Amino acid sequence: MMSLRPRRVRTRLTLMYVAMLGGVLAVYFAGVSVLLFWQ
């Protein structure tokens, strides 16, 4: 079975950065949305 993990460290680190930022943004959006709709 072919692994989906990128072989190059550069690609892995980039994906990790993007995933982290995406996660932070998602949490931020969720927090802002909850706060605004609650008010």
Partner 1 sequence: MSGILKRLAAEDLETVKGLLYVSDEGQVGVREDYHHHTDWKQVQERLLEILGPDGSILYRNEKLGDRTIGGAPFAGEGEHGYSGRSARMSDGTPIVLISRKYDLQGRTILIRVGYNQDLIWNQLKETLLVLLLASPLVLAGTAYAGYKMVGRTLSPVSKMAHRAEQINSERLDERLPIENPEDELGHLARVFNAMLSRIEQSFEQLQRFTADASHELRTPLAAIRSIGEVRLQEDARPEEYRDTIGSMLEEVNRLSGIVESLLTLSRADAGQIRMQVSVFPLKALVREAAALLEVLIDDKRVTFTLTGDETVGAEADRLYIRQAVINILHNAVKFTPPGGSISAHVECSSDSRVELSVSDSGPGISAEHAGKVFERFYRADEARTGDDMGAGLGLSIARWAVEANDGEIGMTNLPGAGAKFWIRLPAVGCPSDRGSSQ
Provide the binding-site residues for partner 1, judged by CB under 8 A: 9-11, 13-15, 17-18, 21-22, 25, 29, 32-33, 36-37, 39
Give the residue with the Cβ less far from partner 1, 1 or 8: 8
Q: Who contacts 20 (Cβ-Cβ below 8 Å, separation ≥6)?
A: none
Give the residue with the Cβ less far from partner 1, 3 or 39: 39
Give the residue with the Cβ less far from partner 1, 1 or 39: 39
Task: Give DSSP secondary structure letters for 1-39.
Answer: ----S-SSHHHHHHHHHHHHHHHHHHHHHHHHHHHHHH-
